[in-house]
Amino acid sequence: MIATVEHTQVEFPPSTRACPNCEGTAATKLPQYCRDGWDVCACDACGLVFLRNPPDYSELVEDFAWEKTYEAEAAFREKRNSLPRRLNSRFRKWQNRHFGKRHVNRLNRLLGGGATLDIGCGSGDRMGPPFTPYGIELSKALHAQADAYMKQHGGECLHAPGAEGVWMFPAGKFDSVIMHSYLEHEVEVLKTLRGCHHCLKPGGKIFVRVPNYASLNRRIAGPTWCGFRYPDHVNYFTLQTLRDVADKTGFDVKLVNRFSLWFNDNIHALLIKKDT
């Protein structure tokens, strides 16, 4: 049975967040998807679903750092989910442990190596040869690990918000950018993507992986959908809204998982820098 959602019209007060795509201030609140005071809304103008009251960057560094919230969120879901969902979650963890190398090989095929910036890089070891790894990481603890690893392999990691750090690199420095499970966390989506456009070489690519709000599983699972994370997921993209933000910032979108998109909880796509 597909979950239904109640809707409430809201106008944002000046202190809350406008739509990160079109900057509209009118939105429809989705109460079924709100939790613990975090308000999830859909923009009336462009349809993007987003968190309208995200925490500040300073809170994300300490109180809501990803490595701190992950275990708490996982425990919450384990308790709430049914037995089949718990078993499926454990299978995915086993799969990631034993087949994680496949992801690196996939990035090699899609991006081809070279100087590559990983935004929200975590501990920084997502890339190996033929990549020269650079990164941006907001968490202090994870940044220290990533910087040590990347300097050993010819790159470095900046400790900064993604929207700020990406502008610290010179124009045309990178062959590619990785945003693996990152863009759903970024409050300043347009600023970040414009920064990527600035620091990419002509024809450069961004690999993007974000939760797929249009997936069949989200429609069925409703508020128990695995793509919801509070408060660190602040954007919930469909393929169309991802295309909207990409077009605004100078990129074409090539869908990678087009055959499985309807059933996949994530969108995998390449954003390709347009000729100017």
Q: Closest by alpha carbon to 136, among 116, 152, 160?
A: 160
Give me the phi and psi of 197, to 5 degrees please: -60, -40
Q: Which domains does the chain have, with CATH numbers?
A: 57-273 (3.40.50.150)
Tens of pLDDT along the chain (276 residues) come to 445 545 555 555 545 899 999 999 999 999 999 999 999 999 999 999 999 999 886 666 655 455 555 555 555 555 555 555 555 555 445 444 443 455 667 888 899 999 999 999 999 998 888 999 999 999 889 999 999 999 999 999 999 999 999 999 999 999 999 999 999 999 999 999 999 999 999 999 999 999 999 999 999 999 999 999 999 899 999 999 999 999 999 999 999 998 899 899 999 999 999 986
Report the sign of the C-alpha dihedral through residues 197, 203, 204, 207, in that order. Answer: positive
β-pair partners for 267: 210
pTM, full prediction: 0.84
Handedness of CA 249, 255, 260, 266 (dihedral sign): negative
What token pair was written down for 122?
A: 């975590």
Torsion on CA atoms 53, 186, 260, 265, rounded to nearest 10 = -40
8 A C-beta contact, residue 179 and residue 119? yes
Tokens of 58: 């300073």
SS3 271: strand
